Structure 1
Amino acid sequence: MFKAAIRINKISTIAQLRGASLHAQRHDETGKARVREDAEPGFGLAWSKAENDRDYLAAFKAHKAEQGAGERKNAPIALQALCVVSPEWVEKAGNLHDPNNSHNRQLFKQAKVWAESWGGKGSVFATRLDLDEKGGAVVDVLVSPVRQSRGKPVISTNKALRELKEATGERNEYAALQTSWADWCRETLDSEIVRGTRKELTQRQHLSPETYGAVMDKAREAVQQPAESLRGALQAAELSWEDTDLLRDYLLLRGEIIRHQDNPHAYEPPDGKFDQEQIEDQASVEKNTWRLINAIRKGAEGIIGAAGRFGMGPEELKRPDGHEAGRTWFPALSDRLHLGAVVAKCSMFCAQVEAFVKNLRIQDPEQHLSAEQLWPTEASELVERYDRHLGLDLPQHDIPLNQEQGLEIDDSSPVLSEQEERDDGLYLEE
């Protein structure tokens, strides 16, 4: 039995595409370090819409011209899909690094066809299967889906992923990608290929099972036991309505701390009822501006409100070491700093959303509102402060990928940023 898994990185800027090109061409230090001693740098299978198959910036420009598509402000311009199968499946037909290996060629071809099955015809502008590294069986696919918005073609990764989620019936876009790719591999490559194993909640090493009060002690005892034990502890605990309400907010914040710890550079506030693209489409129909604002930022406001109950709202965090107010509930400094970053980013998102929606109603660009003027004010400074506290303002480097180790996947993970490269042995754990 062989396994399939997927990983998605967001690409939001031209600079990121330029960096991806340098990496693909092995001009950067990380790319050079991943080349095997006996391999020629850049050896492998590659295709793009540009003359140079590894020039992603040129390929993207050619893609935009071909599609006649525009871009949305502050929205991703492309997705990098890392399409993975067990290396043993490739080796079943020959050498893992042989470009003429029929399984390498099939994988290379089908990864592109799969991405266009949900991204749309012509949405892929570059693909690459590196054969100069120690590992293999991973195809990089750069896809930039185009959808109609107000009668015009616009790059829209969110709409494409949302459509895929609805088509698969999965609970989120990330799980939908996993299921879709595995199904595609099974149908087009080998009937023995299955979806990577869904990681159980209690297997996550970074998971803190602590809740609070009587539940905390029982949960600690249950951390290495099946999930049913933790559920039983929660069911057995005698909690008042107020206790339950507080526990709900506590667990909500715990979940956001974990999400931020997993991948701080790609952290995004919880979803609201609608996203930015849907609001643009609704703006001409819905005349109540605040209804539109609240529809986008409901999830982020929920985090800010919950954090305020534990003394870590945005106003408290503006004070020097304001995160210390949460020490009672979040004893670990790391947790408080990550929660501070979460609250700061949710705050900045709320201010940006209000500015975005209100500016849709203002025809004169010179009269447009700045997010810095809106609630919560000075949120961008708060984000910068907690990024410094966590060392997130330092340059990030990708991590080499070597051999497949069971392809365990975590379906609760969000789509990743371009900074999160392939891990050594854990393809999809963020």
Structure 2
Amino acid sequence: MFKAAIRVNKISTIAQLRGASLHAQRYDEIGKARVREGAEPGFGLAWAKAAENARDYLAAFKAHKAELKAGERKGAPLCLQAICVVSPEWVEQAGGLHDAGNPRNRQLFDQAKAWAESWGGAGSVIASRLDLDEKGGAVVDVLVSPVRDSRSKPVISTNKALGELKVATGERNEYAALQTSWAEWCQAHLDREIVRGTRKELTQRQHLSPETYGAVMDKAREAVQRPAESLREALQAVDLSWEDTDVLRDYLLLRGEISRHREDPRGYEPPPGERDEQWIMDSALDKPDPWPLIRAFRKGAEQVIEAAYRFGLGWDDLKRSDGHERGREWFPALADRLHLGAVIAKCGAFYAQAEAFVKNLMVDDPARHLEPERLSPQEAPELVERYNRHLGLDLPQHSQPHHERDGLDEQSSRDIGEERPSRTRDSGHDFGL
């Protein structure tokens, strides 16, 4: 069984388009670093509307606009960069992964363009390429710039094309629609054995860029049999954009909190803030506004909660009866998800406690003191209790197994990997900030 997957970036400026061209032509440092030893830089299959240079995307975009006489909407994307992926093993069944003469490389290259035009419209693809100079393979970059009529005038509209695709596939969001559509196209035109990759909500901030993702995975495979220090070496060898680093930082933060909670689940405390309790007590009477103190005191908990939202672990998600299933793609082990759920719940509880603590310091009358349970997030204590029960922390010995409580069934407790339908992540909660 082979897999098909999609990664999508929106290109909204000429500068981004020029940057993509420089990478495709191996003029940038990341592009140069991706070329495997002994390979000719830029070797591969490529096509663009500007025939003089199949990797000059800026020229291709200009040719595209001239051909279709299309205008642009201010601030709207100029095109989509669709990264069309299939399992490399599928290509290797017919020959070398980096062999331009391998018929499956040619099939993949041609069908990726045909797929994009099946929903973007005839002539919507401005350029495509399949790099054969990298260590990895079976990945086609397709730049698609759909044109639709707007008040009887042709206008570039990626949003309208994606909306149409969402309706056609019956998916709940555009990125899921792209995933489903590409997998179905591969089944129909490449191989019936190709299936859709793991279902997940895709956002630009949930994924490393395609080039960096490939570099990290190359190093990760090599590091499996090497000492722990190889993780540092892998990160040192990869050029990370600020967005990549942002995602990696939050992921490592959550992994670290899982480890801390595992070591001492009953004694776990949220990460410290910018100011400690004594400093807050000493400063409260001199400050007319409590909020700078509140934010400084609970900064560590706030960072955990914000990082959790990025990976689909928002407050409303955890409150669901199957909240322990959220984040499975990033945290596949059930035990990790249970510890992480407990971490988020305890950080949420501290979030409310910090607000009450600071505000109460500024009020002399005890009758006017705030109760943390009445502050947002009000459900935190119940979630703490739930995840403590899931982890068996509040149960006496020989009590009912934790997987039989609160809807956490035995099958889920063994984490056998049954996938559940995905949900669109909520828009987040600012907890009164």
Cα deviation, residue 198, structure 1: 2.2
Identify the residue that residue 40 of structure 1 maps to in structure 2: 40
| Greater Cα offset, 319-328 or 60-69 | 319-328
Cα deviation, residue 121, structure 1: 0.4
d(CA) in 2 for partners of 1:338 and 1:322?
21
Superposed CA offset, 1:230-258 (max 9, x none): xxxxxxxxxxxxxxxxxxxxxxxxxxxxx
d(CA) in 2 for partners of 1:198 and 1:16?
28
Change (3 A) 1:103 1:322: farther
Q: Tell me if structure 2 keeps the 8 A contact 1:97–1:132.
A: yes
Q: Tell me if structure 2 keeps the 8 A contact 1:14–1:57.
A: yes
d(CA) in 2 for partners of 1:165 and 1:33?
37
Identify the residue that residue 383 of structure 2 maps to in structure 1: none
Unaligned runs of 5+ in 2: 208-245, 250-287, 311-418, 426-433
Cα deviation, residue 332, structure 1: 2.1
Identify the residue that residue 53 of structure 1 maps to in structure 2: 54
Q: Tell me if structure 2 keeps the 8 A contact 1:174–1:412.
A: no
Identify the residue that residue 98 of structure 1 maps to in structure 2: 99
Cα deviation, residue 188, structure 1: 0.1
Q: Tell me if structure 2 keeps the 8 A contact 1:84–1:139.
A: yes
d(CA) in 2 for partners of 1:107 and 1:37?
24
d(CA) in 2 for partners of 1:24 and 1:321?
52
d(CA) in 1 for partners of 2:194 and 2:140?
16
Cα deviation, residue 160, structure 1: 0.3
SS in 2 for 1:112: helix
Choose 1 or 2 for highest CA Rg. 2
Identify the residue that residue 386 of structure 1 maps to in structure 2: none
Cα deviation, residue 263, structure 1: 9.9
Identify the residue that residue 29 of structure 1 maps to in structure 2: 29
Change (3 A) 1:336 1:57: same
**What amino acid maps onto 2:113 in structure 1?**
K
d(CA) in 2 for partners of 1:340 and 1:113?
36
TM-score, normalization: structure 2? Answer: 0.50
RMSD (Å), alpha carbons? 3.5
Alignment of 1:227-266 (within 5 A): none
TM-score, normalization: structure 1? Answer: 0.50
Unaligned runs of 5+ in 1: 207-260, 265-318, 342-407, 415-430
Change (3 A) 1:336 1:184: closer
Identify the residue that residue 150 of structure 2 maps to in structure 1: 149
Change (3 A) 1:323 1:185: farther
Cα deviation, residue 325, structure 1: 3.6
Alignment of 1:271-290 (within 5 A): none
**Is 1:135 equivalent to 2:136 in the alignment?**
yes
d(CA) in 1 for partners of 2:160 and 2:149?
10
**What amino acid maps onto 2:184 in structure 1?**
D
Identify the residue that residue 123 of structure 2 maps to in structure 1: 122
Q: Which has the higher contact order (CA 8 A, sep 6+)?
A: 1
Cα deviation, residue 47, structure 1: 0.2
Cα deviation, residue 334, structure 1: 2.1
Percent identical pairs in the alignment equals: 73
**Is 1:87 equivalent to 2:56 in the alignment?**
no
| Greater Cα offset, 31-40 or 323-332 | 323-332
Identify the residue that residue 405 of structure 2 maps to in structure 1: none
Q: Tell me if structure 1 keeps the 8 A contact 2:176–2:200.
A: no
Superposed CA offset, 1:175-228 (max 9, x none): 10000000000000001000002259xxxx99xxxxxxxxxxxxxxxxxxxxxx
Alignment of 1:216-365 (within 5 A): 325=294, 331-335=300-304
SS in 2 for 1:72: coil
Change (3 A) 1:321 1:132: farther
Cα deviation, residue 340, structure 1: 12
d(CA) in 2 for partners of 1:130 and 1:413?
33
Change (3 A) 1:148 1:322: farther
Residue-pair matches, total: 237
SS in 1 for 2:6: strand
**What amino acid maps onto 1:40 in structure 2?**
E
